[in-house]
A = this chain, B = another copy of it.
Amino acid sequence: MTSHLDALGNDRVRRFLAEGQSDGPVLVVDSEVVRANYAKFAHALPDTRVFYAVKANPDPKILKLLAELGSCFDCASVAEIDMALATGASADRISFGNTIKKERDVAAAYARGVRLFAVDCREEVEKIERAAPGAKVFCRILADGAGAEWPLSRKFGCAPEMAADVLEHAHVRGLIAYGVSFHVGSQQNNVGAWDAALASAAEIFRECERRGLALSMVNLGGGFPTRYLRDVPAVEAYGASIFEALRAHFGNRIPETIIEPGRGMVGDAGWIEAEVVLVSKKSDAEDEIRWVYLDIGKFGGLAETMDEAIRYPIRTAHDGGATAPCVLAGPTCDSADVLYEKTPYPLPVSLSIGDKVLIEACGAYTTTYAAVAFNGFLPLASHVI
Contact = CB atoms under 8 A, between A and B. Distances in A.
A151 interface: yes
Given A278-B100, A283-B158, A373 B368 contact: yes
A234 interface: no
A278 B124 contact: yes
A77 B377 CA distance: 7
Contacts of A293: 100
Contacts of A306: 306, 336
A91 to B, nearest CB: 16
Contacts of A354: 103
A55 B155 contact: no
Interface string A275-312: 10111111111000001010100010001001000000
A322 interface: no
Nearest to A122: B280
Contact of A369 (B158, B159, B161, B374): B374
B83 A161 contact: no
Contacts of A278: 99-101, 121, 123-124
A207 to B, nearest CB: 14
Nearest to A54: B376
Interface in A111-161: 120-124, 127, 142, 150-159, 161
A229 interface: no
Contacts of A151: 335-336
B375 A295 contact: no
B159 A283 contact: yes
A226 interface: no
A224 to B, nearest CB: 16
A97 interface: yes
A77 B376 contact: yes
A120 to B, nearest CB: 7
A337 to B, nearest CB: 7
A98 interface: yes
A372 interface: yes
Q: Which among A331, A341, A374 has the highest number of chain B CB atoms within 10 Å? A: A374
A55 B281 CA distance: 25
B372 A97 contact: no
Given A124-B278, A299-B369, 4 more contacts: A103-B354, A151-B335, A158-B280, A369-B374
27 contacts: A55-B332, A55-B374, A55-B375, A76-B375, A77-B377, A79-B373, A79-B377, A83-B376, A98-B332, A101-B278, A102-B277, A103-B354, A122-B280, A123-B278, A123-B279, A142-B282, A150-B335, A151-B335, A151-B336, A153-B335, A153-B338, A155-B291, A158-B281, A185-B335, A368-B371, A369-B371, A369-B374
Interface of A: 23, 53-55, 58, 75-80, 83, 97-104, 120-124, 127, 142, 150-159, 161-162, 165, 185-186, 275, 277-285, 291, 293, 295, 299, 303, 306, 327, 329, 331-338, 341, 353-354, 367-379
